Amino acid sequence: MDRTRRVANAARSLHGLALGDAFGEQWFGYRGAELTERLTRRIAPQARLWYWTDDTAMALSLLRILHLRDVVDQDALAAHFAASYEADPYRGYGPSMHGVLRAIHEGEPWREVTRRQFEGQGSWGNGAAMRVAPLGAWFADDGLVVVAAEAERSAETTHAHPEAVAGAVAAALATGGRGEAAPDPVEFLAEVAGHTPESDVAAGLRAASRLPAHSSVRHAVSVLGNGSRISAPDTVPFALWTAAHHPDSLTEALWHTATGGGDIDTTCAITAGVVASRTGTTDIPKSWITAREPLPTWVDTGSTSAPPR
């Protein structure tokens, strides 16, 4: 694929991911009846500036390494994650990730750090999936085998558990496998499941593909989860279900995903990264674009001379 096309594809996905992340994060400021009313009536968050979280911060690191190396250089990626964290640790990183990134920054080998998490099982959280959509867009013309392999490499730098890796692979495949025409939701989810390593994530995607077309968000959440457990199996199937059923409207995809509750910034980030890889942010209200915290200019230019963030 032409490098200019790679940069443009990944930037489109990342702009969507960051918007979804920032949009989703705003809902944690509302509770109870007010939250329900605003989501039901589709009243956008009132904050003047919608800050993005660790979802976008880590996606930026991943994209930066692709700009610099063209592929996932695991050592460079782990170092960039850690440096970005040390520069701005207040982005809502998960409890275990604070320890992981600090240890890597202090010089411990990333493989040893990630593999000793959770009594040697490694983290099966949704962090590897939340950041990976731009990678899928970057390798979109290289085939699903390449997308899956690079997504796996990106996940391993922070998440050693097979479920976390499967979640990242699924989210990347959903982005990298989307053509210009909107795919059939059932076929789309089944295909992603078929190329995802056998796992609870893959089983969740198969369950998502079997949900009736008229299923409500509430029913989908009851079957698939909504990220409340912060695990890949509890997050990725729902996020990809909403993406599959709203392939032509990023705005609709975000409202439906937010309505599901749970880890809203992460489900919205995953969904938006996938949908925006096709649509961009063209149907998003201008006020949302203005409110979202800006991204570094190198995201769009692909410049490798700009200072890293």
**What does the DSSP 8-state code read for residue 50?**
B
With beta carbons less than 8 A apart as the criterion, state whether 299 and 14 touch.
yes
Give Rg (Cα) of the chain: 17
Contacts of 7 (CB under 8 A, 6+ apart): 67, 300, 301, 302
With beta carbons less than 8 A apart as the criterion, state whether 204 and 237 touch.
yes
Flag whether 290 is marked binding. no
Tell me the C-alpha distance between 44 and 172, whole Å: 28
Helical packing angle, 3-26 and 264-279, nearest 10° = 150
Flag whether 266 is marked binding. yes
Flag whether 300 is marked binding. no
Flag whether 54 is marked binding. yes
Residue among 55, 31, 45 nearest 288 (CA): 45
Handedness of CA 287, 292, 294, 295 (dihedral sign): negative
Number of neighbouring beta carbons within 10 Å of residue 80? 21
Q: Burial code of 134-159, b = ≥16 C-beta within 10 A, e = fewer?
A: bbbbbbbeeebeebbbbbbbbbbbbb
Q: Which residues are annotated as a binding site for Mg(2+)?
A: 53-55, 263, 265-266
**Residues annotated within a binding site:** 53-55, 263, 265-266
